[in-house]
Amino acid sequence: MPVRRNVLAWGAAAAAAPALTACGESAGAARLTKQSKSRRGGRVNLVFWTWVPLQKAVALWNKKHPDIQVDVQVVPGATNGGYQKMHASLKAGSPPDLAQIEYHALAEFMLVNGLTDLSEFGADKLKGDYVDWQWKQCVFSGGLHAIPQASGPMAYFYRKDLFERWDVEVPRTWDEFREAAVRIKKRGGGSRMTSFPPTNANWFAAFAWQRGARWIRSEGDSWIVDFNSKLSLEVADFWDGLLQDQLITVMPDLQSGWYRAAQTGQLASWLGAQWGDALLRGNAPATKGKWRVTTMPQWEKGEQASANWGGSSTAILQGTRHPAEALEFAHWLNTDPKSIDLLVEAGYGWPGARIDLEKSALGKPDPFFGGQRYNKVFEEADSHIDTSWKWAPTNTQSFEHIKDAFGRAAAGHGTLVAALNDVQGRVLDDMQAKGLKARSA
């Protein structure tokens, strides 16, 4: 018999959002969270699944908290089977206590009752320690279901030396971005303004987000699917034009070929997230001192709209026997100043915690960026991210549809505009197949 249950409600209060129901799918968690009253040997042992290199921060916790020890277990990245492993552990009744879960995937875990409501363990009183929009990414049905860890406010990385050599102005608007791309194509000897990664749906989502589009929202008791809104199609059309005029390179990003292009100057700039700083440092070391960071180009001159790419939470999975201790650790990991500095060193992204930039490792001038205090740009960008953007509970499937459709378009078979129109119907089908009440805008 199909199981019906209230699954998702967005917002800070349940009364402000609809209760959304999935049917036809059994809960994914084989056991529910229950606080243990006993500690074997006076100590609690927690297991934490993550692909982020945060071992140094956890080692510091273990040193300071002998009664609550955390065992970091490295799992494949989210797109390489990490989430499948987590879902399987929930169904088997043997989940880790904590897990790294990206913001865009949290709703999928909520759909299968995979996350612990941390409000029951006093998490709400911690809200003031976190960036408001990141906190909201973790709130469902009026309760906090994960601790914000880090995000990826977007900005514009560019090669100052190449822009000066080719007499290119740093673009402040998207029209100027195209003009700069034309000039680089003419003067750059084979170099291009930037790359378009057809398999990176999360990256493209940031531009729709910045434009003010809403791919998913709720209205009454329904999900509203709107991947092909006027604003989203405007963004797609802009990138279609760059591709058709060969002003940018089609290339998977953050892979060996892409790093080589960044190192050699084949790519003169990159629209990337804050956590990309460590990737450029580590994979294009010969470009030290040549990069600078500025704000994203705007659709209208004088605007300050930003967006986010990526970001993760520290979630306590359904079924743990130590939710209070897991919450204590997760909060410390993401707010303790020494822990944050160690996480920054590991390149984990923009903190979910409110920080004093000048007192953190993020506030220092960086020789790789020519001595620029470049994180001031990201601090400003983070303050201009539209907090109303949400993700669908079928988002992994949505990203796969975008990758497939964009891949065809980038290969010359159609356009990005047509691809988004195709994705719209597929996402709607996915949600309805989950038993969710959904319709197009």
Specify the pLDDT at position 110: 94
Q: Tens digit of pLDDT for each residue in 230-243?
A: 999 999 999 999 99
pLDDT for position 424: 97
Does residue 441 contact residue 226 with C-beta atoms inside 8 Å?
Answer: yes
Can you tell me whether residue 193 is helix, strand or coil? coil
Residue 121 or 349, more confident: 121
The strand pair at 68-74 and 98-102 is best described as unpaired
Q: Are 118 and 145 in contact (CB under 8 A)?
A: yes
Residue 122 has pLDDT above 90, yes or no: yes
Q: Are 208 and 227 in a shared domain?
A: yes
The reply to whether 247 and 345 lie within a common domain is no
How many CB atoms are located within 10 Å of the residue 124 CB? 15
Is the predicted pLDDT of residue 1 greater than 80, yes or no?
A: no
Identify the residue whose tokens are 């084989």.
30
Last residue of a domain, one of 337, 365, 382: 382
pLDDT at 170: 98
Residues 261, 402 share a domain: yes
Q: Is 254 left (phi over 0), alpha (psi -120 to 50) or beta?
A: left
Q: Is residue 135 part of a domain?
A: yes
DSSP H helices, 284-394, are 323-335, 337-345, 375-382
Q: Are residues 276 and 336 in the same domain?
A: no
The full DSSP string for 395-409 is HHHHHHHHHHHHHHH
In this structure, the answer to whether residues 201 and 268 fall within a common structural domain is yes
Residue 287, number of CB atoms within 10 A of its CB: 18
The number of folded domains in the chain is 2
Any domain includes 315: yes
Backbone φ and ψ for 209, nearest 5 degrees, come out as -60, -50
Q: What is the pLDDT of residue 297?
A: 98
Q: Is there a single domain that holds both residue 394 and residue 378?
A: no
* Residue (of 285, 415, 315, 284) closest to 107 by Cα position: 315
Which whole number is the average pLDDT over 292-302? Answer: 96
Question: Are residues 219 and 331 part of one domain?
Answer: no
Terminal-to-terminal C-alpha distance of the chain: 32
Residues 256 and 136: their CA atoms lie apart, in Å, by: 35
**pLDDT value at position 190?**
96
Residue 156 lies in a domain: no
pLDDT, averaged across the chain: 91
In a domain? residue 303: no
278 lies in a domain?
A: yes
The predicted-structure confidence for 82-111, as pLDDT tens digits, reads as follows 999 999 999 999 999 999 999 999 999 999
4 Cβ neighbours under 8 A, 6+ residues apart: 21, 22, 23
pTM: 0.91
Name the phi and psi angles at 374, rounded to 5: -65, -20
Expressed as residue numbers, the domain containing 394 is 169-176+183-297+390-440
Check whether residue 240 and residue 284 sit in a common domain: yes
Give Dmax (Cα) for the chain.
Answer: 71
Nearest Cα to Cα of residue 390 among 221, 217, 229, 203: 217
Q: Judging by beta carbons within 10 Å of its beta carbon (0-12, 13-18, 19+), is residue 169 exposed, middle or buried? A: exposed
Kindly state whether residues 364 and 415 are assigned to the same domain.
no
Q: Over 70: is that where the pLDDT of 112 sits?
A: yes
**236 and 289, same structural domain?**
yes
pLDDT tens string 159-218: 999 999 999 999 999 999 999 999 999 999 999 999 999 999 999 999 999 999 999 998
Can you give the pLDDT at residue 235? 98
CB 130, CB 353: distance < 8 Å = yes
Check whether 21 has a pLDDT greater than 50: no
CA–CA dist 21, 436 (Å, integer): 6
pLDDT of amino acid 39: 66
CA–CA gap between residue 101 and residue 312 (Å, rounded): 6
Residue 160 covered by a domain: no
Tell me the C-alpha distance between 152 and 331, whole Å: 19
pLDDT at residue 2 greater than cutoff 50? no
pLDDT, tens digit, 9 for 90 and up, residues 411-429: 999 999 999 999 999 999 9
Together in a domain, 428 and 285? yes
Task: Say whether 277 sits in a helix, a strand or coil.
Answer: helix
Q: Does residue 302 sit within a domain?
A: no
Instruction: Give the C-alpha separation, 315 to 305, whole Å.
Output: 29
Average pLDDT over residues 293-310: 96
Q: What CATH number is given to the structural domain containing 354?
A: 3.40.190.10
Gap between the Cα atoms of 22 and 222, Å rounded: 11
8 Å CB contact between 273 and 359: no
Rounded to whole angstroms, the Cα distance separating 143 from 163 reads: 48
Which positions ≥6 away from 319 have C-beta within 8 Å?
Answer: 29, 30, 31, 32, 33, 90, 93, 94, 95
Higher pLDDT, 144 or 79: 144
Tell me how far apart the alpha carbons of residues 233 and 228 are, in angstroms, rounded to a whole number.
6
pLDDT higher than 80, residue 16: no
Helix or strand holding residue 151 (H, E): strand 147-159
- Identify whether residues 145 and 23 lie together within a single domain: yes
Tens-digit pLDDT profile for residues 28-55: 788 899 998 776 667 999 999 999 999 9
Strand 216-219 relative to strand 222-225: parallel, antiparallel, unpaired? antiparallel
Q: Is residue 31 part of a domain?
A: yes
Q: What is the mean pLDDT of residues 280-284?
A: 95
pLDDT recorded at residue 36: 84
Span 255-267, average pLDDT: 97
pLDDT given at position 432: 95
End-of-domain residue from the set 346, 365, 382: 382
